[in-house]
Amino acid sequence: MNLSAPAKINLSLSILGKRPDGFHEIESLMVPISLADTLTLEASEEPGIAFTCSDATLPCDDSNLVVRAARRFFETTKIPSAIRIHLAKAIPHGAGLGGGSSDAATTLTGLNQLFGAPLAPEALHALAAEIGSDVPFFLAGSAAMCRGRGEIVEPTPFPHQLPLLLIKPGFGVPTPWAYSRWRDALEIPGISYAPQLFSWGRLVNDLERPVFEKHLFLAILKRWLLEQPETTGALMSGSGSTCFTVLRDVADGSALEARAREAFGAAWTCLCQTL
C-alpha cells in the first residue's frame, strides 16, 4: 500500500494565550499542499514494526512519529504488530510544514485500512491527538480551522488552488522554543507583521515575531519576497523555518525561484500549490 502524506502551510496562525496544561491556545487556518512524502505499508510475516526511511538523518526508533503512531495503533487495537513501513521523504524536517505529523496521520489511516478498519473515525482522531497537536488536521484531508492546541479540527471549504513558492534555509526552528518566546519577543523595525488581506482570506502568523527576532535571515527573506513583482503575499509557515509566497501566476514561479537561489544561496526551494 502506497500512500501520499501531504505537507501543509498555515495561512493564518493566531495565538490566543497560554493554557493551564502548558500548551498555547491557537486559531489557525491550515491548508494541505501538493508537496508530499510517500509511505509504503506492507503486512509482514515477521512480528514487530520494521521501519526504514530514505532520509538517513532521521531516527528510525520510537522517537520517529511514524513508529510512535504504528505502535499506538497496535496497542490500542490489540492487533499483533507485523508490519513493514518505508518512508520516502520529500518534506524537509523542522520546516513548519507538518511533515512528521502528516506521516503519523497517514500511518494511522493506512494501518486502519490495511487491518479492516478496527478504529472508528472518532477513535482515530483521539489517537492522533495523543501523538501530536497537528496530527488530527491531516486526518481531515482538507483545509481546516484548527483550534485548542491544534487538535480541534473544523474542516473548512477552500476551493482556491494558490500557486506557491516555498523557501527554507539550512536550519530548522524547534516548535516548543518558538512558542516559549512568543509573549516576550519584540518586533524588528522595518518588518511588516500585519495581516495581509485577500479575497480568499488573510495571511498572518503570530510566531513570526519570536522567530524573526532570533533568525533575522527569515525576516529579510519575507521582506524580499514581498518586494518581488511576481508575488501577492508572503508569510512564515507555522513555527518556521519555511517562508512561502503566493504567486500572481503559476508561470511566474520558475523565474522567482531562480532569483531567490541567486539571492539566498543554497536554500531549499519548492514550487507547489494548495490542494
Q: What is the mean pLDDT of residues 3-22?
A: 95
Q: What is the mean pLDDT of residues 247-269?
A: 94
Residue from 34, 9, 151, 28 nearest 90 by CA: 34
All CATH 3.30.70.890 domain ranges of the chain, comma separated, are 163-273
The pLDDT score that the predictor gives to residue 265 is: 87
Q: Write down the pTM of the prediction.
A: 0.95
Q: How many helices (DSSP H) and strands (DSSP E) are in the chain?
A: 8, 12
What are the grid coordinates assigned to 158, written together?
477552500
Q: For 98-150, what is each residue's pLDDT tens digit?
A: 999 999 999 999 999 999 999 999 999 999 999 999 999 999 999 999 999 99
Q: What is the mean pLDDT of residues 258-270?
A: 93
User: Checking phi first, is residue 232 left (phi over 0); if not, alpha (psi -120 to 50) or beta?
Assistant: alpha
Using CA atoms, how far apart are residues 24 and 143, in angstroms rounded to an integer?
21
- Provide the annotated active-site residues: 8, 134
pLDDT reading at 266 higher than 90: no
What are the grid coordinates assigned to 197, written together?
488581506
Q: What is the mean pLDDT of residues 56-62?
A: 91
Half-sphere exposure for 102 (CA within 13 Å, toward CB): 31
All CATH 3.30.230.10 domain ranges of the chain, comma separated, are 2-155
Residue type, 153: V
* Helix H or strand E encompassing 110: helix 99-114
The pLDDT score that the predictor gives to residue 43 is: 94
Q: What is the mean pLDDT of residues 70-91?
A: 98
What topology does CATH give the domain 163-273? Alpha-Beta Plaits (3.30.70)
> Which DSSP symbol is given to 274?
B
Reported CATH class of domain 2-155 = alpha beta
Quickly state the pLDDT bin for 214 (edges 50, 70, 90): very high
Q: What is the mean pLDDT of residues 57-66?
A: 93
